[in-house]
Structure 1
Amino acid sequence: MSISSKPTRPTMSLGEAIEAMLPGELAFRFEAYDGSTAGPADAAITVRLLNERGLSYVMSAPGDLGMARAYVTGDLEIDGVHPGDPYDALVLLMDKTRLRAPSAAETLRIVRALGMNHLLPPPTPPQEHLPRWRRLLEGLRHSKTRDAEAIHHHYDVSNRFYELVLGPSMTYTCAVFPKVDSTLEEAQAEKYDLVCRKLDLQPGQRLLDIGCGWGGMVRHAAKNYGVEVIGATLSEQQALWAQAAIEREGLAGRAQVRFSDYRDVPETGFDAISSIGLTEHIGVHNYPAYFAFIRDHLKEGGRMLNHCITRPDNRSRANAGAFIDRYVFPDGELTGSGKIITEVQNAGLEVHHEENLRMHYAMTLRDWCRNLAENWDEAVAEVGVGTAKVWGLYMAGSRLGFERNKIQLHHVLATKTADDGTVDFPLRPTWGS
């Protein structure tokens, strides 16, 4: 059967199609460009499909990718929530919407009724990264070239945009809230300080922070613990921003951030190594080499802290979903904390402490979404409405994922213990909460 590109007159309204796919009382209002509707008129959330291109996006890529394409291009709108924080809409759709899996015959009937031509995908939005098979042209997965391109896609959006979303700390990793009502800035400062305390940093020691972002950990450790710090990031924009902040804060003698792959750092013998939000990007099959790098760059007795988003188990596939892979973290991979601990141990490092900060990340994402919503007009002026909508959707969805225990955030603390078992580590944790 061939698919004709010639538009055909639909024999089923879009409202009828929605009712066929979502039986029972809808929790939202649906309105379509063909004039049809479904769901209660007084629903808190209204989903509007505005044109045939939006329908083609949804039909040609069923699931989160097609919906995201239509939403990002403005072909699908959601009334009742702010695009910078569509959390309430996602909760409603997850809790109150039950998709009925129609039979193959029913699916074919619906597709034919709406028009087979809608199975031809329109051009993808400019915010979308290449599919995995096309990325082979950029190099093998997690090669230095391909990792650099993936980081560029996600982080070199606009430093000003990140300032609007992340706040003054310019920290794009999970915060640690000392109290329920702590501010985001207090929580990010506490996160960095907790990492410093876990690493037992002392004046004059040397710290390597890999995947350092805008240098928050670099500057906090140099300023508050008197250590010499090298940070490495694959984002040139991050490195430029971080170096300017280091100069501005008078830390140039003790801190530096390099535009560099962590694998190209030649120095060794560090007293401590921190990795805050890097492991998600390197690929699970690269864990042995990654933790071997950390081991080889630590001095004997040195400590490492790995801060990483994880899955709640060690069985799930590592690849992210289609929306995350194409719009947010190309080539990103997640696995369980058990896998991470196993690879840390297999590299010859001794694990001393592990903790899950899952709910802290949900709270962090809540505050980032609030920042985006409050600074929406300036954010849109900076990066465009499509990119801003991608971020709102991604962060609100991730918040829900952490709240529902679909993803977690783990700290793993380990030492490069001497061959005879000698290690300078307290009998009980000394770093507090």
Structure 2
Amino acid sequence: MSISSTINGFFSGGLPVRLSAYDGSVAGDLDSPYGLRILNQRGLQYILTAPGDLGLARAYVSGDLELEGTHPGDPYPLLRLIVGSTDFARPSVTDLARIVRELGVGSFVPPKPPPHEHLPVWRTALEGVRTAGVNAFRRHTAERDAEAIHHHYDVSNTFYEHVLGPSMAYTCAVYPSDDATLEEAQAEKFDLICRKLGLEPGMRLLDVGCGWGGMVRHAAKHYGVSALGVTLSREQANWAAEAIKRDGLDDLAEVRFSDYRDVVETDFDAISSIGMTEHIGVGNYPAYFSFLHSKLKEGAPLLNHCITRNDNAGKATAGAFIDRYVFPDGELAGSGTIVVAAEDAGFEVQHHENFRRHYAKTLAAWNENLVDNWDACVAETDLGTAKVWGLYMAGSRVGFETNEIQLHHVLATKTPKNGTPNAGFTDYPMRHTFGV
């Protein structure tokens, strides 16, 4: 049997795109304008030894698998077709023995993963267990979190400028209208959060996981608040410091290269957590929300902006590809899990809103930027990294479109015993932005 027919048979129902291989064979949907081409034996080994998304991604990133009919900066059209079709069907022992004979035992020897892949916690733990002991097997220690953030966010500020655009906002935008630009939508996102928090001149805002300081700068510039942002990425902190100085906001805004757990200031009038909860681990939710609760004044609000699962029952994983190539140790839970953790930490949840369709639109804009700046992005990093980004953003877009993942705002207050939170945020008109 040919390589293409054998591999196509592994996928439940076969692939809805063309599949070809280096032995000249073709299988799948031969009339599809899109295809997967296995270029060599190493590509075959990746696919066979890590069945599903991870093996396909390894082969693609390493240059051993081509995606036909799409630009590497935006493989969305192909991914939209194959979503839900990449899990391997389990062959019988008899079929597996036959496949091994046909393809050769060597095809089942796992190659070394591409250098872009971040090792899972058990692999890095084995290397560090002598010095760290059993703690080496723990996710979300301060040291491992710093390493994970460095892997993803310290790629290159110039690369991010090409992909994210002038706002340098790497979180879901909120489109005020269907024809709004990405920059307009990112400004609306920050402003929406400011309005929900009821920010006013003279208030003190803490923004945890602040990225390149977009929220900090927007709140300081447009609402006159004193804003502190913290990030574990030194590259982000350096870029943000320059942007703050450029905008003349030194007297109001600060971005600090720091773990949020090292913030010593208290009595903030508001806290924003935008795209941070995904990184801290579900098991750390109680400690995280308790920490934020301790940093707020009585009656003050918290806005948590977070990618979520579409349920609260499944395993809190972002998937093998995302975990190894994009957000190491990232975990996604349902919005209900976040609400429970916030409430158990003492918060009163006031408002809960889903923006998943806005994130699909945001990702489409980022993919477009990557395509438009493809040569510059490859030159700034390397071809494999650029391909990872195209694949991850297009795949995430599919996830948001099909409701596999969501994006929720949870607005909560540190309500005092008399039951009256601060008045500012309650003046926010709860408008629903489902137009896109």
**Would you say same fold, with TM above 0.5?**
yes
Deviations 1:119-149 (A, max 9, x none): 2111111100012202333843111001000
1:218 to 216, 219, 222: 216
Task: Choose from 269, 272, 279 the match for 1:274.
Answer: 272
Residue type of the partner of 1:49?
I
Cα RMSD (Å): 1.8
Match of 1:233 among 231, 234, 251: 231
Note if contact 2:12-2:85 (Cα within 8 Å) is conserved in structure 1. Answer: no
Q: 1:206 to 1:19 in 2, by over 3 A?
A: closer
- How does 1:9-88 map onto structure 2 within 5 Å? 12-21=1-10, 27-39=16-28, 41-88=30-77
Report if aligned partners of 1:14, 1:114 keep a CA contact under 8 Å in 2.
yes
Q: Are positions 1:406 and 2:395 aligned together?
A: no
Number of equivalences: 422
**Could you tell me how far apart the structure 1 residues matched to 2:307 and 2:344 are?**
20
Aligned match of 1:4: none
Mapping for residues 38-187 of structure 1, pairs under 5 Å: 38-39=27-28, 41-94=30-83, 101-136=90-125, 137=128, 139=136, 140-187=138-185
Shift in CA distance, 303/214, structure 1 to aligned 2, threshold 3 Å = same
Query: 2: CA distance between counterparts of 1:218 and 1:25?
Result: 49
Give the match's secondary structure for 2:45: helix
Comparing 288-297 with 106-115, greater Cα deviation is found at: 106-115
Alpha-carbon contact 1:239-1:259 (below 8 Å) kept: yes
Give SS of 2:300's match.
Answer: strand
CA deviation map 1:343-388 (0-9, x unaligned): 1111111111110111111111111111111111110111101000
Q: Is the 8 A contact 2:11 2:85 kept in 1?
A: no
Q: Distance in 1 between matches of 2:298 and 2:143?
A: 32
Distance change in 2, residues 1:163/1:111 (3 Å): same
Q: Which moved more, 1:242-251 or 1:38-47?
A: 38-47
- 1:408/1:232 CA distance change after superposition, 3 Å: same
Q: Any gaps of 5 or more consecutive residues in structure 1?
A: 1-11
Q: Assess, with a 3 A threshold, how the Cα gap between structure 1 residues 152 and 98 changes in structure 2: closer, same or farther.
A: closer
Q: Percent identity?
A: 63
1:221·1:229 contact (CA, 8 Å) conserved in 2? yes
Residues 309 and 20 of structure 1, relative CA distance in 2, 3 Å threshold: closer
1:247 Cα deviation after fit: 0.3
Is 1:197–1:431's contact at 8 Å kept on the other side of the alignment? no
CA–CA distance in 2 between the matches of 1:304 and 1:325? 28
Structure 1 residues 353 and 19: alpha-carbon distance in aligned structure 2, compared to 1, 3 A threshold: closer
Tell me how far 1:86 sits from its aligned partner. Answer: 0.4
* Distance of 1:335 and 1:96 partners within structure 2: 23
Maintained 8 Å contact 2:51/2:87: no
Question: What secondary structure does 2:304 align onto?
Answer: strand
Change beyond 3 A, Cα 1:430–1:378: same
AA aligned opposite 2:163: V
Shift in Å, 1:104: 2.9
Native 8 Å contact 2:205 2:271 kept in 1: yes
> d(CA) in 2 for partners of 1:213 and 1:46?
37
- State TM-score, norm by structure 2: 0.93
Structure 2 stretches lacking a partner, 5+ long? none
**Residue 71 of structure 1 aligns to a residue in which SS?**
helix
Task: Name the aligned partner's letter for residue 326 of structure 2.
Answer: V
8 Å Cα contact 1:27/1:97 also seen in 2: no
**Does structure 2 conserve the Cα–Cα contact (< 8 Å) formed by 1:209 and 1:218?**
yes
Residue 181 of structure 1 deviates from its aligned partner by 1.2
2:317 counterpart residue number: 319
SS of match in other structure, 2:167: coil
Alignment of 1:257-272 (within 5 A): 257-272=255-270
Q: Corresponding residue for 1:290?
A: 288
Shift of 1:249: 0.5
1:192-234 CA-partner distances (Å, limit 9, x unpaired): 0000000000001000000000000000000000000000000
Cα deviation for residue 34 of structure 1 reads 1.3
Aligned-pair distance for 1:100?
5.0
Letter in 1 for 2:184: E
Report the counterpart of residue 358 of structure 1 in structure 2.
Answer: 356
Distance of aligned partners of 1:424 and 1:388 in 2 relative to their CA distance in 1, 3 Å threshold? same
Distance in 2, Cα, partners of 1:24 & 1:420: 60
Once the two structures are TM-superposed, the CA of residue 107 in structure 1 deviates from its matched residue by 2.5
Deviation of 1:13 after TM superposition, in Å, equals: 1.9
Tell me, what secondary structure is at the counterpart of 1:214?
Answer: coil
Letter in 2 for 1:245: A
SS of 2:297's partner is: strand
How far apart are the structure 2 equivalents of 1:430 and 1:346? 27
SS of the residue corresponding to residue 371 of structure 1 reads: helix
Q: What is the TM-score of this pair, normalised by structure 1?
A: 0.94
Partner of 2:376: 378
**How far does the alpha carbon of each residue in 1:30-58 deviate from its partner, in whole angstroms, 9 at most, with x for none?**
22111222245542012111111111111
**Partner SS state of residue 298, structure 2:** strand
Match of 2:395 among 394, 397, 401: 397
SS at match of 2:119: coil
What code does the residue aligned with 2:388 have?
Answer: V
| Native 8 Å contact 1:30 1:48 kept in 2 | yes
Q: Partners in 1 of 2:421 and 2:322 — Cα distance?
A: 41
